[in-house]
């Protein structure tokens, strides 16, 4: 009896284990999606009828940190409430949980499971296989005809700005998204090196301009106890390798005349980590690390730790944002007698030189672009709704919120009220903005220069933007798009490269891997096929230049 | 033959229908969530595109497998997966048995209850919290490093040192789950016939000898089954925990097959490639399970099938 009992149990258990083992790898997905769907085109059917606003549609968009501080859903944002009043459209917002990789994960799963919302806002330049592929596979629809007929505001903007129209198209000329546009140059710079000005003053130092100056300054921070607590607890510089390898942030690397990954020189695509300049860059960082000039914890530092180091009076120099760092920290550190931050220019190698590249957002950054999916029942109506964001009324709603509440007109110019600047509920500037508008983060509209400048509450912030703008910024790539095959090829190469490089760079800097192995590192990158990826980017760049 | 089998089954169902009804939800669960998705395994041999669906995507043959086997990371993640499991087998697996044996020897019922409750409590704490505690304790200025520093030893960057990862992973696993895994052995021990102990005492066996000659053989069938099941999960290391713990500096020891599949498949949307890697993983698991079962069969009576 006992034996038989065991047999039953064990049979079931065996089945369970086998199944668990085998199914561990299968990816869930709907098996019943139809083949490539044809894109509904508004031009052919009922083109004469003027579209109404839709009664409702669903909208997938990340709930950014500033919004999450006081909102759980964008339907609570005043601008969207007002839009609902105007149009009668009920927008059903769906937000992925978490941030960063979690958002990416949920986006990919949504695409894979085909449970698409009607519109999706994300960085469409960065989606796997690119926007052209998404159109060809029937995930999203081509918008050119719909915009011609139903989006007068946006069409007018594109007609007046053919260069921008070029940027938001694929190589085949398909417009796939309602983009977030930073038109004025001052809107494009918001990130760069920041230093504790009071530490410099205390030690009688000038702002460092070259890499050699930086080393001297950081050494002084290390040795001369600028925070005055008698302990050697100062962290001279916080390096963030993720930002070094990010082609729009370009932390520090510009001094060496290159970017970490893909960049262009005279129309030729190059890859930074293969260059001798990159070796020098690594050697410098590794030297700084050995001397204790770089935070020992740098590979594990996240936003929270960084905040703690700045507000805890231990960090001397770091990279950050005009509002998100300078503004925030000046707001946060109130009880410190001397705490002062100021922006440093992007360092150069030679005295009197200018860094080849700093942070510079493209006019069309790809981020916050809104597409219409093939699931949408009435794309022409949704286009009409989205077009509002590019009209006068929508522009004010998204950039300033509600007149009389979040802004008031002064001398014909909108100005934020105290609800935003000195929020009664104690919300930070951007968090307060998030309740009324979307300009603090991004969305399908044109970012307003006035609203951006008014975010700069402290003069140091305005100064920072000027200082950081001083870089040549000629080597960054434009917003090129890849074909599906190219994109798959590059992804397969670059996944391995990124895994390997993320790891190796940190090892070089920490001295775990001696600099003498740099040639091997370059060889390995070539084995992964980096040169093939360069070829793909070159082709894409050529196509872009021929648009 | 098969006719008779069905007749017998039908009869058995009639007689024991309540048992079968209890079984039903579990069978449905496995069919829906474990057998059903196997249909999707075909994407490992295809260039899968969500828009075209499973059937519409074109066949790619063994392309993804070849790419994986040719990848520079293949040996590393395979080795990491196997080593991590091996350490778990060597250190985590016996820990539960030892704790059960020790608890069984405690004379004070209250002490035993207290120890048991305390030792299995961490099992119910969320993994995220556990890893958070690890980061706090093992930080450069964390508790452990302060203790070390007071002994005059240089602080160790535990969470960023590749050589420490496995120790921390397995060690914290033991801390979190040893109490929980001892429960099944305690149950098995309580099933050992008390007359065997009396007989052993008559023969002059001390407590160690009683453990060795009575308790251990008594729970051996349970241990064997647990071992086979453990080996069945050999390739399935706790990847949620690794994802919470790792960063690029310690990929060298911490990157395992499943974290790689996660990065490739979910983050980079290479569904076919990661399905191929996952299928490879499952095939090895299956092989190990069959192997362990065969060995167990050869050595003794207990086996899964």
**Residue pLDDT, tens place only, A147-176:** 999 999 999 999 999 989 988 998 889 999
Same domain, A214 and A330: yes
Same domain, A151 and A289: no
- Residue B147 clears pLDDT 80, i.e. is over it: yes
State the CATH number of the domain containing residue A518.
Answer: 3.40.190.10
Task: Count up the domains in chain A and report the number.
Answer: 2
Are B94 and B216 within 8 A, CB to CB? no
pLDDT digits (tens, 9 = 90+) for A410-433: 988 999 999 998 888 888 888 899
- Residue A12 clears pLDDT 80, i.e. is over it: no
CB contact under 8 A, B269 and A506: no
* Closest-CA distance of chain A to residue B143, Å: 16
Domain hosting B85: range is 62-299
This model of the complex carries an ipTM of 0.70
Same domain, A181 and A218: no
Mark A407-439 as b/e (b = at least 16 C-beta within 10 Å).
Answer: beeeeeebebbebbeebeeebbbbbbbbbbbbb
Task: Count up the domains in chain B and report the number.
Answer: 2
Asked if residue A231 belongs to a domain, the reply is yes
* Closest-CA distance of chain B to residue A437, Å: 30
Same domain, B110 and B185: yes
Q: What are the structure tokens assigned to B77, written together? A: 């993640």
Asked if residue A457 belongs to a domain, the reply is no
Asked if residue A19 belongs to a domain, the reply is no
In the predicted model, what is the mean pLDDT of chain A?
87
Looking up tokens 């960049």 gives: A263
> How far lies B245's CA from each of A373, B140, B232, B253, in Å?
37, 15, 24, 12
For chain B, say whether A24 makes contact (Cβ under 8 Å): yes
* Closest-CA distance of chain A to residue B151, Å: 20
- Residue A23 clears pLDDT 80, i.e. is over it: no
- Residue B73 clears pLDDT 90, i.e. is over it: no
Same domain, A76 and A141: yes
Asked if residue B57 belongs to a domain, the reply is no
- Residue B25 clears pLDDT 50, i.e. is over it: yes
Are A291 and A219 within 8 A, CB to CB? yes
For chain A, say whether B8 makes contact (Cβ under 8 Å): no
Are A194 and A344 within 8 A, CB to CB? yes
pLDDT digits (tens, 9 = 90+) for A198-218: 999 999 999 999 999 999 999
For chain B, say whether A296 makes contact (Cβ under 8 Å): yes
How many angstroms separate the CA atoms of A132 and A125, rounded? 10
Same domain, A308 and A410: no
Considering only CA atoms, which of B143, B190, B88, B34 is closest in space to residue A25? Answer: B34
- Helix, strand, or coil here: A451? helix
pLDDT score for B232 = 82
Same domain, B124 and B245: yes
CB contact under 8 A, B235 and A21: yes
Asked if residue A2 belongs to a domain, the reply is no
Same domain, B179 and B41: no
pLDDT score for B2 = 67
Same domain, B33 and B176: no
More confident site: A25 or A371: A371
Are A358 and A468 within 8 A, CB to CB? yes
CB contact under 8 A, B282 and A499: no
CB contact under 8 A, A299 and B248: yes
pLDDT score for B1 = 54
Same domain, A139 and A228: no
Asked if residue B50 belongs to a domain, the reply is no
Considering only CA atoms, which of A277, A279, A298 is closest in space to residue A289? Answer: A298
Same domain, B202 and B283: yes
Cβ contacts of A106 on chain B, cutoff 8 Å? none
For chain A, say whether B124 makes contact (Cβ under 8 Å): no
Considering only CA atoms, which of A519, A500, A489 is closest in space to residue B73? Answer: A500
Same domain, A369 and A387: yes
Same domain, A158 and A75: yes
Cβ contacts of B251 on chain A, cutoff 8 Å? 499, 502-503
Looking up tokens 């106890």 gives: A225
pLDDT above 70 coverage of chain A, percent: 91
Cβ contacts of B268 on chain A, cutoff 8 Å? 128, 491, 495
Same domain, B19 and B135: no
Same domain, B17 and B156: no
CB contact under 8 A, B53 and A510: no
CB-nearest to A495 from B264, B271, B304 is B264
Same domain, B2 and B87: no
For chain B, say whether A20 makes contact (Cβ under 8 Å): yes
**Backbone dihedral region of A173: left (phi > 0), alpha (psi from -120 to 50 degrees) or beta?**
left
Q: What are the structure tokens assigned to B30, written together? A: 């496995």
Confidence of residue A89 (pLDDT cuts 50, 70, 90): very high
Asked if residue B278 belongs to a domain, the reply is yes
Confidence of residue A100 (pLDDT cuts 50, 70, 90): confident
Size of interface A-B (CB pairs under 8 A): 182
Q: Dihedrals φ, ψ of A47, to 5°? A: -60, -20
pLDDT score for A209 = 93
CB-nearest to A26 from B40, B50, B160 is B40
Mean pLDDT score, A329-335: 85
Report if pTM > 0.95: no
Same domain, B141 and B280: yes
Chosen for mutation from A1, A22, A129, A244 (greatest number of chain B CBs closer than 10 Å) is A22
Q: Using CA coordinates, name the residue in chain B closest to A12.
A: B304
Q: What are the structure tokens assigned to B275, written together? A: 């399905």
Domain hosting A429: range is 56-185+363-447
- Residue A8 clears pLDDT 60, i.e. is over it: no
Q: What are the structure tokens assigned to A331, written together? A: 């707001």
Same domain, A347 and A223: yes
Same domain, A291 and A429: no
Same domain, B34 and B88: no
Are A110 and A97 within 8 A, CB to CB? no
Are A395 and A445 within 8 A, CB to CB? yes
pLDDT score for B301 = 64
Handedness of CA B246, B249, B252, B253 (dihedral sign): negative
Considering only CA atoms, which of B157, B162, B305 is closest in space to residue B225? Answer: B305
In chain A, residues 134-163 whose CB comes closer than 8 Å to chain B: 137-139
Same domain, B114 and B39: no
Same domain, A209 and A325: yes
The lowest-confidence range among A60-74, A183-197, A297-311, A336-350 is A297-311
- Helix, strand, or coil here: A410? strand
CB contact under 8 A, B270 and A510: no
Confidence of residue A35 (pLDDT cuts 50, 70, 90): very low
Same domain, B35 and B90: no
């Amino acid at each position: 009896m006992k034996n038989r009992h065991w047999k039953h149990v064990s049979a079931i258990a065996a089945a369970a284990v086998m199944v668990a083992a085998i199914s561990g790898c299968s990816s869930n997905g709907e098996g019943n999606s139809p083949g490539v769907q044809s894109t509904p085109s508004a031009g052919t059917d009922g083109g004469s009828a003027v579209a109404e606003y839709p009664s409702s549609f669903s909208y997938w968009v990340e709930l950014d940190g500033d919004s999450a501080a006081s909102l759980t859903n964008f339907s609570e944002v005043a601008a969207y409430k007002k839009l609902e009043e105007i149009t009668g459209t009920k927008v059903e917002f769906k937000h992925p949980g978490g941030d960063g990789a979690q958002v990416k994960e949920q986006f990919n799963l949504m695409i894979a499971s085909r449970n698409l919302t009607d519109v999706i806002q994300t960085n469409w330049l960065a989606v796997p296989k690119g926007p052209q592929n998404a159109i060809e596979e029937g995930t999203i629809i081509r918008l050119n005809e719909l915009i011609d007929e139903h989006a007068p505001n946006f069409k007018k903007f594109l007609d007046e700005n053919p260069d921008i129209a070029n940027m938001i198209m694929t190589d085949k000329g398909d417009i796939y998204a309602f983009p977030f546009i930073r038109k004025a140059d001052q809107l494009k710079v918001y990130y760069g090196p920041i230093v504790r000005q009071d530490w410099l003053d205390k030690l009688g130092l000038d702002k460092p301009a070259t890499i050699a100056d930086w080393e001297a300054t950081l050494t002084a921070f290390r040795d001369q106890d600028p925070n005055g607590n008698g302990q050697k607890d100062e962290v001279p510089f916080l390096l963030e390798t993720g930002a070094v390898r990010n082609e729009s942030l370009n932390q520090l690397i510009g001094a060496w005349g290159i970017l970490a990954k893909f960049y262009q020189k005279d129309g030729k695509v190059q890859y930074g980590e293969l260059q001798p300049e990159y070796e020098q860059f690594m050697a410098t960082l590794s030297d700084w690390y050995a001397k204790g000039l770089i935070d020992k914890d740098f590979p594990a530092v996240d936003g929270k730790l960084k905040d703690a180091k700045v507000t805890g009076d231990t960090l001397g120099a770091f990279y950050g944002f005009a509002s998100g760092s300078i503004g925030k920290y000046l707001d946060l550190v109130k009880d410190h007698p001397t705490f002062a931050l100021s922006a440093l220019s992007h360092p150069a190698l030679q005295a009197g030189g200018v860094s080849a590249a700093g942070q510079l957002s493209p006019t069309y950054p790809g981020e916050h672009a809104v597409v219409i999916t093939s699931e949408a029942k009435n794309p022409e109506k949704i286009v009409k709704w989205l077009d509002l964001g590019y009209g006068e009324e929508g522009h004010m709603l998204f950039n300033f919120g509600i007149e009389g509440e979040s802004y008031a007109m002064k001398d014909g110019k909108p100005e934020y009220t105290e609800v935003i600047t000195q929020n009664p509920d104690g919300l930070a500037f951007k968090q307060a903005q998030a309740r009324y508008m979307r300009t603090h983060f991004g969305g399908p509209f044109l970012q307003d220069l006035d609203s951006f400048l008014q975010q700069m509450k402290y003069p140091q912030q305005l100064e920072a933007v000027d200082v950081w703008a001083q870089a040549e910024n000629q080597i960054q790539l434009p917003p090129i798009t890849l074909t599906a095959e190219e994109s798959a090829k590059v992804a397969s190469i670059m996944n391995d490269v990124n895994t390997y490089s993320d790891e190796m760079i940190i090892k070089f800097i920490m001295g775990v891997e001696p600099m003498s192995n740099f040639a091997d590192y370059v060889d390995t990158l070539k084995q992964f096929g980096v040169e093939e990826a360069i070829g793909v980017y070159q082709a894409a760049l050529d196509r872009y230049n021929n648009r | 033959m098969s006719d008779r089998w069905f007749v017998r089954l039908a009869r058995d169902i009639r007689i024991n229908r309540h048992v079968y009804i209890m079984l039903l939800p579990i069978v449905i669960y496995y069919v829906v969530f474990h057998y059903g998705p196997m249909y999707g395994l075909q994407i490992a041999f295809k260039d899968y595109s969500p828009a075209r669906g499973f059937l519409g995507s074109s066949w790619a043959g063994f392309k993804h497998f070849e790419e994986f086997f040719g990848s520079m990371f293949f040996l590393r993640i395979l080795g990491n997966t196997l080593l991590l499991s091996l350490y778990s087998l060597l250190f985590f697996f016996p820990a539960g048995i030892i704790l059960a044996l020790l608890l069984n020897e405690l004379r004070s019922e209250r002490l035993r209850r207290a120890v048991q409750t305390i030792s299995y409590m961490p099992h119910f704490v969320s993994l995220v919290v556990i890893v958070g505690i690890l980061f706090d304790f093992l930080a450069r200025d964390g508790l452990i490093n302060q203790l070390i520093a007071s002994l005059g030893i240089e602080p160790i960057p535990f969470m960023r040192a590749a050589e420490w990862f496995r120790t921390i992973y397995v060690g914290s696993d033991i801390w979190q789950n040893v109490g929980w895994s001892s429960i099944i052995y305690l149950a098995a021990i309580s099933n050992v016939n008390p007359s065997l102990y009396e007989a052993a005492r008559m023969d002059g066996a001390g407590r160690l000898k009683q453990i060795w000659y009575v308790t251990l053989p008594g729970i051996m069938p349970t241990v064997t089954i647990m071992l086979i099941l453990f080996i069945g999960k050999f390739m399935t290391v706790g990847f949620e925990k690794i994802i919470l713990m790792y960063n690029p500096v310690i990929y060298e020891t911490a990157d395992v097959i499943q974290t790689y599949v996660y990065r490739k498949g979910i983050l980079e949307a290479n569904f076919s490639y990661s399905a191929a890697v996952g299928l490879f993983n499952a095939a090895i698991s299956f092989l190990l399970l069959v192997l362990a079962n065969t060995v167990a069969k050869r050595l003794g009576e207990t086996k899964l099938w």
